[in-house]
Every structure is written in structure tokens, then in C-alpha cells.
Structure 1
Amino acid sequence: MTGDTLTRLTIPVRTAATKLIVVVRAPAATDYDRILDVLIDAGIGSVELTLTTPGTLERLPHLLNRFGDSADIGVGTVTDVKQLAAAIDAGAHYLVTPITDTHLVDAAHRAGVPMVPGGLTPTELFAAWQAGAAAVKIFPANQVGAGYVKDLRGPFPDIAVVPSGGVDIQGAVTWLAAGAAAVSVGGPLLGDAVRGGDLGALRERAHAFVAACAPDTT
């Protein structure tokens, strides 16, 4: 399967509209509910739950039942076929991996689930895109600047990119202005909320990111 012959899946509608994916790495999956409740109420349309959080897949059906009509809920840090299959079976709206593995991309595409694989070099990013990625994750984005989007678009004019890693609110604005399809953010938005921090402050940061990333939707 190549980029010339496949019918490419795209990132989910709410993710594309809000241009923002919030990566939630929590101490335990039972911490997700209170965080997602605040984020989604504040207008966040896409949340990536990571497999580095114990119990994520077991908790996912409950979270989809509670929040799935209001936001796209994806599963990230997928690094092998077994994890990919389990995340799909649990109902993930989309998948994210920090690596470039075309076999994972192909498996997700065949299952009808959009995948955003990570890479940094043009070779890695194009290989993932050619394999059928819905978008490619520039990771770690803090090692390059937003001008990297223009550099990639020279040889790969249609590639959809999502920077991840150290993206703060100003960085989000800069990357989106450069042409990123969306931005992936974690710590700069979540702060200490996953460790029991102030949820009111989390709500304020979420509102600020939503307004900065997709001002026309607010």
C-alpha cells in the first residue's frame, strides 16, 4: 500500500476543527475522569490518553461512554501491534505513536482507525505519510522550529503535520500559523492538575489554548 493508491483516513473531525490534541499522562487511569471533565467542558475537542498510564485500555470504554459524544478520545504511546489491536478493540477514536513504524500505520489503516505516527527526519515523516498516516507527528518538536513545516512542504506539499513535545501556547500559535494541522500539548496546559493541582487553573489554561488554537470556533 502506498500514498499513491490508498484512500487516506484523516484526523477526526473534532480534532481537525479545534486543531488541538491534549495529551493526558496521569498516575492512574482513574484520574482521567476529573481531568477530562474539566478539559471537555472548557472546549477541548480531542484528548490523547497514553499507554504509559496504568489501566488506560481498561478505562477507555467507560470514558468513551461518558465523554465520547463530546470529544475525540485517542490512545497514544502505541508501540507494537498487540497494543494497537487492544486500543482498537477498546474503541479508540484515533491512535498515536511516538515512532515511525509503517507496519503499525498500515495495520491501523486497514482497521479503519486514523493513526498519527511520530518522527523527526524527513525520511521518517514521509515514510509514515506514504504508509497512510492521517497526519505525522513531529516529535520532539522542541528540537526544531515552526519553520520546519515550510521545509517539509517543499518536497512533500500535501503532508499534514502535528508538532508534539514542549509546545506551549505561543508555540501552538506559531506552529498553526506555519501550517500545522493541529498541535499536541501536554505539560504547558495540564500543569500539575494530574497530580492533584487546581482544576480551576486547569480550566483557565484550557480556555486559553482553545481560543489560541481555533479562535474562529470560540
Structure 2
Amino acid sequence: MNLVESLRAHRLLAIVRGKDPAAALRTVRTLAEEGIAAIEVSLTTADALTVIKQARTELGPGALLGAGTVRSAADATRAIDAGASYLVTPALVDGLESCGIPVLMGALTPSEIEIAIARGAVAIKLFPGALGGPGYLRALRDPFPEVPFVPVGGVDAQAARDYLDRGAVAVGVGSPLVGDAADGGDLDQLRARAVTFREVAAGETP
């Protein structure tokens, strides 16, 4: 799987994190039904590995289903065994170079970006994105024109548009999209938010 090209095509990565495993699985299922192609299940989700395993069974082998908040090589191994097809880290993590699947590694500063690339990251999770905002991404594009950036953290619909306009290959969106659905919240509201973010990713006005 070419994760970067997939993210570039879909421009949206949904981040599912919740306290209720059954609700988290329903959230993944609903996002997929609403056309959100790339979905990450955070390992901080209750019984996250089971959620990933069940979601993989439901969505099939080709689904862009990843594991997030991967903080160690041991986390990576467990996530891969559960069916994750890519990994997302919140920060620089050692030991993922030979994990066999793409890694979207968290970094914020230019020095961290260089380290992440040296550690085999296929793209940079710019986190926390809200700290610098879209203007910071634009500044990073000059010294790192070839680096695929995916801003994450505080990305609402307007910020998503701004980041995409400034060269992000995709945006990672958690609570502004998922809301409380992964804790048992309203799935109809989740569907409505999914439509909004899908329109933003398609270049329509939020």
C-alpha cells in the first residue's frame, strides 16, 4: 500500500478514540459507510486491538485502517497482528523502521522532522497542529517541499481547508469529526459531520 498516495487522493484521515469498544467499532463502520476511506483507531481506545481486528474483518483487506498513538515497537507489533495496515505515532518512536508497513510519524520542529524521515517515516504527522496553525505548515513547506505533511490536533472544518490549501497531503481529524460517537454518541450527527469534512476534502467550502 502506498499510504502517501492514498492520503493524497482522499485528503482526510479520521481518528477514532473512545471509551466504548462497541461504539468505537460502530463509529469506524459508520465513517466507512459515509465514504471516509482512511481511518485510524487510537490505541488509547478501550480494547483498541479488538476494535481494529473486528473492523479489519468487516472492512476487508484493502481498507485504509491504521493504528494510532503507537508509542513503541511492541505497540506496533500488536497493532499489525490485529490488522493495522499503517501506523501513526504521536512523536518520534524508535524501532519502527523494519515493521513492514507505512509509518506516519509525529513531529513538530524541523529537527524532529529530519529525525522522523531518517527513521523511515513515509509522512509527517504535524502534531500538535494547533500550536502553529496553517501558517506554520506554510513556513515548513519552504525547507521541506518534498515532505508529505498531515496536520493533526484541533483541526476543524475551516482549519482543514486552510491546511489543505497550504500544501498538506491530508488532515487528521479526531473530535471535530468523531465527536462523542466512539463513546456511544449520536451516529446521525456523526454522519452529518462526515459529510461536511468530506466536502472540505473535495475542495468545497465548509
State TM-score, norm by structure 2: 0.91
Task: Pick one of 127, 144, 150 that aligns with 1:162.
Answer: 150
- Specify the alignment match of 1:104 in structure 2: 95
- Specify the alignment match of 2:108 in structure 1: 120
1:84–1:104 contact (8 Å) kept in structure 2: no
1:44–1:71 contact (8 Å) kept in structure 2: no
C-alpha displacement of 1:57: 1.2
- Specify the alignment match of 1:38 in structure 2: 30
2 CA distance for matches of 1:114 and 1:79? 15
C-alpha displacement of 1:124: 0.4
C-alpha displacement of 1:13: 4.9
Which 5+ residue runs of structure 1 have no aligned equivalent?
1-8
2 CA distance for matches of 1:16 and 1:68? 21
State TM-score, norm by structure 1: 0.86
2 CA distance for matches of 1:14 and 1:155? 24
Distance 1:153 1:210, change over 3 A: same
Distance 1:68 1:134, change over 3 A: farther
Question: Are 2:81 and 1:89 aligned?
Answer: yes
Question: Are 2:164 and 1:176 aligned?
Answer: yes
- Specify the alignment match of 1:56 in structure 2: 48
The 3-state SS of whatever aligns with 1:117 is strand
1 CA distance for matches of 2:62 and 2:198? 15
The 3-state SS of whatever aligns with 2:3 is coil
Number of residue pairs matched? 204
The CA deviation string for residues 109-146 of structure 1, in whole angstroms up to 9 with x for no partner, is: x2320111111111001210232211101111000021
RMSD value, Cα: 1.9
Question: Are 2:124 and 1:146 aligned?
Answer: no
2:73–2:96 contact (8 Å) kept in structure 1: no
The CA deviation string for residues 34-73 of structure 1, in whole angstroms up to 9 with x for no partner, is: 2122211111011110111121113322210101357311
Which 5+ residue runs of structure 2 have no aligned equivalent?
none
Task: Pick one of 170, 181, 189 that aligns with 1:193.
Answer: 181
Distance 1:59 1:33, change over 3 A: closer
Distance 1:12 1:65, change over 3 A: farther
Identical positions, percent: 40
1 CA distance for matches of 2:49 and 2:122? 22
Range with greater deviation from structure 2 (115-124 or 193-202): 193-202
The CA deviation string for residues 160-195 of structure 1, in whole angstroms up to 9 with x for no partner, is: 111000000000000001000110001111122223
